[in-house]
Homo-oligomer: A and B are copies of this chain.
Amino acid sequence: MTVGAALDVIGIGNAIVDVIAHADEGFIGREGLPKGAMTLIDAARAEALYDRMGPAIESSGGSAGNTMAGIASLGGKGGYVGKVRDDLLGAVFRHDITSIGVRFATRAAADGPGTARCLILVTPDGQRTMATYLGACVELGSEDIDPLMIGSAQVTYLEGYLFDPPRAQDAFRTAARAAHATGRQVALSLSDPFCVGRHRAAFRELVMGEVDILFANEHEICSLYETESFDAAAAAVRGHVGIAALTRSEKGSLVLAGGDSHRIDAAPVARVVDTTGAGDLYASGFLYGLTHEMPLALCGALASLCAAEIISHIGARPEVSLRELASRAGLI
């Protein structure tokens, strides 16, 4: 049953609608938000912060949701698992992910907190700082994992942010086991250095035991191995996973597989407008390539191209067809 997968990738993540505004450095400081990172906030703080922030646009987000949107934009076949409420933002999230052809069968919560929101503040340097109210995401659990659907995808992709809501870790492990039981692969993104700090032991156990493909940026991989040396972290992870794709912003990325290393250049960007989704879309390109039997260096180049598109505009979902972009670049 390892051949003939119906889907390329299934993403599992926090289903979130982004609320994106410009802000200056002073505002980030006054709100006590660690710049460039994701902070969890409760409903009351979300409301207060929204009141103080500037005019915003709303756009579906969520790390794995963004990744799946990217895979769909590349022409890949994707599925998504995540929990919204049966409210307006939930309908928006569902519309945005299903209208691009991603299968999204997770039932909306009929009561409890509303659909999750991430207040994203973009500073003049293009960096994004996030404050997330998890809302209905806390309702995701093992019962939302359909082993048949997991088994239908070549890769099950898990976002590290899933370790924050209480019951999603179970869903996470259930999905990983279901994938391996049918001979499929498990990919994990470490999501955020603070998130790694909150769940380091659990992440290490997963990386050593369940993860075939790991995505992490420099800060996240260093946090995982509690080292300040990127080289030391890279050396450590090499023995733990089949493939590690380590991103370093404008310095490109490093792809490790067994004894091999591939240095990938960052794709050129005229102007970095908003870095939201850079890592998510890197994963889109990489996983599309991997599930279409492209060599690793090409997977990395496609990943860089997708990341470059997403940081050239506001928002974390592609604004143009990534397939056309990749085709023009000679990558597809």
Residues of A within 8 A of B (CB): 22, 50-51, 53-60, 69, 87-89, 92, 95-97, 99-100, 313-315, 317, 319
Contacts and interface: CB of A to CB of B under 8 A. Distances in A.
Given A55-B97, A56-B92, 17 more contacts: A51-B95, A53-B99, A55-B60, A55-B69, A55-B95, A55-B317, A56-B96, A57-B57, A57-B59, A57-B315, A57-B317, A58-B58, A58-B59, A58-B92, A87-B88, A313-B313, A313-B314
Contacts of A22: 319
A133 to B, nearest CB: 14
A43 to B, nearest CB: 14
Contact of A57 (B53, B58, B87, B88): B58
Contacts of A95: 50-51, 55-56
Nearest to A91: B50
Contacts of A317: 55, 57
The 8 nearest A-B residue pairs measured at CB: A58-B58, A55-B96, A57-B59, A88-B88, A54-B99, A55-B99, A55-B100, A57-B57
12 contacts: A22-B319, A50-B95, A53-B99, A55-B96, A55-B97, A55-B99, A57-B57, A57-B58, A57-B59, A58-B92, A88-B89, A314-B319
Contacts of A88: 87-89
Name the residue among A50, A53, A55, A313 with the largest chain B CB count within 10 angstroms: A55
Contacts of A50: 95
Contacts of A97: 55
Contacts of A69: 55
A40 B96 CA distance: 23
Nearest to A72: B55
Nearest to A21: B99
Nearest to A53: B99
Nearest to A314: B319
Nearest to A273: B319
A56 B315 CA distance: 11
A96 B54 CA distance: 7
A23 B214 CA distance: 35
A57 B316 CA distance: 11
Contacts of A313: 313-314
Nearest to A317: B55
A82 to B, nearest CB: 15
Nearest to A17: B58
Contacts of A100: 54-55
A55 B94 CA distance: 10
A100 to B, nearest CB: 5
Nearest to A100: B55
Contacts of A56: 92, 95-96
A319 B97 CA distance: 25
Name the residue among A50, A69, A99 with the largest chain B CB count within 10 angstroms: A99
A99 B314 CA distance: 19
